């Protein structure tokens, strides 16, 4: 019978050494994706390398430059952080949607990203907030934008021996806010049929001066949609600009048919979610002094 080792490195360097030395070892954060896959026989790792004992990977820091989220920070720690909730309400509402209280106690922001699911709830909000992913591997450190991190279902830019250490998010400009919405077939604990994250910046007159739109679960990976953002910029987020943003999001979607929804349904829904998320983000930005 194959045995699986458990390793608990205390430093990033030790973790990198362990995964570099053994290609069959798997990094283990909360285990809420990994253990399900293990039980289903998708992976038979030679070792689980627990990341939660590495201080650099766990915790939240907010300063004048922005936010640093350690990759192995649990969802519950993020949703309970008042300053993060104030500055990035859309990101926090996405984190809060992941699974249940139990899942949020274990599951991490880095695990959600590194699992590479097109339907991951936190990836699109990270993208609209211009998150940068800090990756460390045998060659040292490199930074990858969140929109480039997932490359295909279950696949990321991480190379052998590399791990995600943190995500960095710049502090939002004044009158900037985000929002995230998803649709699931049940009231909770399901995978998104479609998701949309939007960040907008408004000037004093309520005109949108900057925007980012990203969509989830409707393409092989979470997708930045510049055309949808363009539809919002220069507008007061009036009905016509929201309609054009929705149409751009629907046009960018290349979804699959499955038991959760058809291609046509997912395209339609992602447009609706984009319009509503843009409206929510606009209302939040407009409410700021
Ligand atoms: C009942 C249930 C409900 C769920 N509901 C949702 C939901 O609503 N929305 C949603 O998006 N997800 C959901 N999930 C999926 C899962 O909980 C999340 O994706 C979670 O954030 C994964 O984090 P984790 O720390 O548990 O990852 P793990 O399972 O520990 O790891 C996931 C993958 O990422 C890799 N990895 C982890 N951390 C790193 C790192 N720092 N560097 C490199 N690779 C790393 C692992 O090797 C593994 O391949 C659900 C899961 C369950 C079981």
Does the domain made of 177-286 have the CATH classification 3.30.390.50? yes
pLDDT at 261: 85
pLDDT exceeds 70 at position 93: yes
Sequence ranges of the chain with CATH classification 3.30.465.10: 55-170
Please report, in angstroms and rounded to a whole number, the separation of the first and last CA atoms in the chain.
Answer: 63
Indicate where the chain has its CATH 3.30.43.10 domain(s).
5-50
| pLDDT tens digits, one per residue of 151-209 | 999 999 999 999 999 999 999 999 999 999 999 887 767 788 999 999 999 999 999 99
Span from the CA of 109 to the centroid of ligand 1 (angstroms) = 8
| Joined tokens for residue 69 | 């989220």
User: Rounded to whole angstroms, how far apart are CA atoms 48 and 12?
Assistant: 15
- Would you tell me how many other CB atoms lie within 10 Å of the CB of residue 286? 14
For residue 76, report the distance from its CA to the centre of ligand 1, in Å: 13
Residue 1 above 70 pLDDT?
no
Residues flanking ligand 1, CB < 6 Å: 26-34, 36, 51, 71-72, 97-99, 103, 106-108, 110-112, 114-115, 120-121, 158, 163-164, 189
The token duo for 199 is 């960040």
- The CB density around residue 93, as the number of other CB atoms within 10 Å, is 21
Give the CA angle between residues 124, 246, 176 to the nearest 5°.
55
The CATH classification of domain 5-50, taken from the options 3.30.70.270, 1.10.240.10, 3.30.565.10, 3.30.43.10: 3.30.43.10
Rounded to 10°, the helix 89-97/263-286 angle is: 140
Q: Does domain 55-170 have CATH number 3.30.465.10?
A: yes
Cα(32) to centroid of ligand 1, in Å? 5
For residue 181 the two structure tokens come to 């919405």
Q: How far is the CA of 111 from the centre of ligand 1 (A)?
A: 4
Give the ligand 1 atom nearest the CA of 29.
30
- Which residues does 173 contact at the CB level (< 8 Å), separation at least 6? 201, 210
**pLDDT tens string 220-269:** 999 999 999 999 999 999 999 999 999 999 999 999 898 888 999 999 99
Starting at the earlier edge strand, list the strands of the sheet with 163-170.
60-63, 66-70, 163-170, 132-137, 140-145
Helix 239-252 with 263-286: angle, nearest 10 deg: 140
Q: Which residue's CA is minimally distant from atom 40 of ligand 1?
A: 164
The residue length of the chain stands at: 289
Query: Which of 12, 37, 98 to probe ligand 1 with, by most ligand atoms within 8 A of CB?
Result: 98
- At 115-153, the pLDDT tens digits run 999 999 999 999 999 999 999 999 999 999 999 999 999
Residue ranges, comma separated, of all CATH 3.30.390.50 domains in the chain are 177-286
Of 8, 16, 10, which is closest to residue 138 (Cα–Cα)?
16
Give CA separation, 43 vs 4, 30, 85, in Å: 11, 16, 35
């Amino acid at each position: 019978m194959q045995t699986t080792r458990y390793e608990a490195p205390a430093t990033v360097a030790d973790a990198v050494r362990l995964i570099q030395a053994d290609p069959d070892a798997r990094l283990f954060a909360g285990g809420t994706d990994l253990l399900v896959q293990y039980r289903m026989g998708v992976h038979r790792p030679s070792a689980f390398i627990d990341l939660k004992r590495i201080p650099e990977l766990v915790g939240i820091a907010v300063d004048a430059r922005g936010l640093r989220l350690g990759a192995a920070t649990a969802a519950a720690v993020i949703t309970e952080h008042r300053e993060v909730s104030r500055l990035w309400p859309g990101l926090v509402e996405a984190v809060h949607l992941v699974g249940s209280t139990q899942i949020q106690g274990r599951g991490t922001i880095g695990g959600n990203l590194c699992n590479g699911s097109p339907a991951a709830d936190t990836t699109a909000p990270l993208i609209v907030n211009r998150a940068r992913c800090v990756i460390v591997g045998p060659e040292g450190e490199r930074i990858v934008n969140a929109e480039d991190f997932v490359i295909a279902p279950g696949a990321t830019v991480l190379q052998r021996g590399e791990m995600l250490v943190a995500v960095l998010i710049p502090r939002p400009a004044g009158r900037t806010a985000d929002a995230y919405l998803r649709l699931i077939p049940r009231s909770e604990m399901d995978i998104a049929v479609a998701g949309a994250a939007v960040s907008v910046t408004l000037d004093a007159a309520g005109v949108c001066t900057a925007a980012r739109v990203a969509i989830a679960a409707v393409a092989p990976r979470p997708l930045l949609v510049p055309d949808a953002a363009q539809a919002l910029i220069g507008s007061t987020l009036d009905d016509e600009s929201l309609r054009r943003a929705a149409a751009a999001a629907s046009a960018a979607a290349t979804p699959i048919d499955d038991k959760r929804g058809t291609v046509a349904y997912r395209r339609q829904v992602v447009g609706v979610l984009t319009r509503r998320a843009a409206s929510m983000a606009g209302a939040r930005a407009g409410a700021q002094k």
